[in-house]
Structure 1
Amino acid sequence: MSSPCDPQHAPAGDVGAALMMVDSRLKAIYGGEMVADPEEQALTAQFTAGWGHRELDDMLDGACTLIYMYMQWLRQAYEEHEEDVLAVVVPYLVGTLRMMTKSVPPETIPTMAGLLVAAGSGLSPSLWRKQYGYWTDGEMNPLEATAFLLAEHINRITNDRAFATRLVTEALPDD
């Protein structure tokens, strides 16, 4: 039986823009910066300043596509070691998000956990979330943090700081 949250029905969104945001955060953290560089923040603000509703939706769908791709890769990796991705990754990410008190409001954590469970179960995180209405302003940072934390987790377990970015760029068409 097909689910209304089946990934084949989900828009991919602007995966490139979402990946750019995650990759820039990874590079900042790996470069020893705990806070985003003001120049980088200004460039990001300039990049997104002209965005309308459609571009924002595309970015949100792109972030959900990243979460889906990362969770599917992690599911396969954990299954090779006879572990359940949901039992390992969800508690790790929820615990980490709970520690991010300045940028992740506690009320958004269940939604991020739901996105992870949806993606780890083979459902579209974007379509799963849309069942409950439009994204809230308070969910923007947690969504970015969730995609970032998944990418960083993949990089850490592969011992390769660029693996998660490469994983996605190699899967993207060469348009």
Structure 2
Amino acid sequence: MSSPCDPEHAPVGDVGTALMMIDSRLKTIHAGKTEVDPEQQEMVRQFAASLGPRGADDLLNGACTLIYMFMSWLRKAHEDHGKDVIEYVVPTLVATMRMMPKSIPSEAIPTMAGLVIAAGTGLSPNLWRQQYGDWTEAEMNPLEATAFLLAEHINRITDDPDFATRMVAETLAGADEAAGVTDTYDEYDED
């Protein structure tokens, strides 16, 4: 029986921009910076303000698509070792989120855990979330942090600091190629 939360019913959104934001955060952390550069933060704020409602929705859906892609990869990796992705990923993710009270208010953690569980069970995170009403402003940073933490988890598992970003970029490039789109995501294929 089909669920209204099946990924086939979900908008993909602006995965490229969402990936660029996550990649930027990953590079900042791997460069040893603990504070976000105020100039970078202002650029992101201005960029978000320039998106408008449609662009913001596309970016939000793109972040949810990243979460789905990351959890799909993690599910397959865990199943290959006879493990349950929910059992091994969600507790660590929640524990990490609880250590980030400035970025992730405690009331947002159950929603982010729900998104990850939905994705881990093959459901669309954005359609799962949509059941409970509109996104709130307080969920924006936690959503970005969730995608970031999943990407970082994949990078640690693979012992490759660019694996998650490269995996998505290659998938996007393959999808574009199959669709006959000539614009590529070469900036992520440097390694």
TM-score (norm 1): 0.97
TM-superposition CA deviations, 1:73-117 (whole Å, max 9, x none): 000001111110000000010010011011111011000010011
In structure 2, the partner of 1:125 is: 125
Moved more, 38-47 or 92-101: 38-47
Distance 2:48 2:61 in 1: 15
Aligned residues: 175
In structure 2, the partner of 1:85 is: 85
* Equivalent position SS for 2:13: coil
Distance 1:15 1:41 in 2: 20
Q: Tell whether 2:114 aligns with 1:114.
A: yes
Distance 1:37 1:86 in 2: 34
Pairing of 1:56-95 with structure 2 (within 5 A) = 56-95=56-95
In structure 1, the partner of 2:3 is: 3
Distance 1:42 1:112 in 2: 25
In structure 2, the partner of 1:105 is: 105
* Equivalent position SS for 2:142: helix
What value does the CA root-mean-square deviation take over the aligned residues?
0.9
Distance 1:159 1:140 in 2: 28
Gaps of at least 5 residues in structure 1 are none
Distance 1:25 1:153 in 2: 14
Q: Tell whether 2:39 aligns with 1:36.
A: no
TM-score (norm 2): 0.89
Distance 2:157 2:83 in 1: 14
* Equivalent position SS for 1:52: helix
Deviation at 1:38, TM superposition (A): 1.8
Deviation at 1:47, TM superposition (A): 2.3
Moved more, 31-40 or 75-84: 31-40
Quick one: which amino acid aligns to residue 103 of structure 1? S
Structure of greater relative contact order (alpha carbons < 8 Å, 6+ residues apart): 1
Deviation at 1:34, TM superposition (A): 1.0
Distance 2:79 2:51 in 1: 40
Consecutive aligned runs of 4 or more in structure 1 exceeding 4 Å deviation: none
Distance 2:114 2:45 in 1: 29
In structure 2, the partner of 1:19 is: 19
Distance 1:159 1:70 in 2: 16
Distance 1:45 1:128 in 2: 27
Gaps of at least 5 residues in structure 2 are 182-191
* Equivalent position SS for 1:97: helix
Sequence identity, in percent? 67
* Equivalent position SS for 2:51: coil
Quick one: which amino acid aligns to residue 98 of structure 1? R
Q: Tell whether 2:150 aligns with 1:145.
A: no
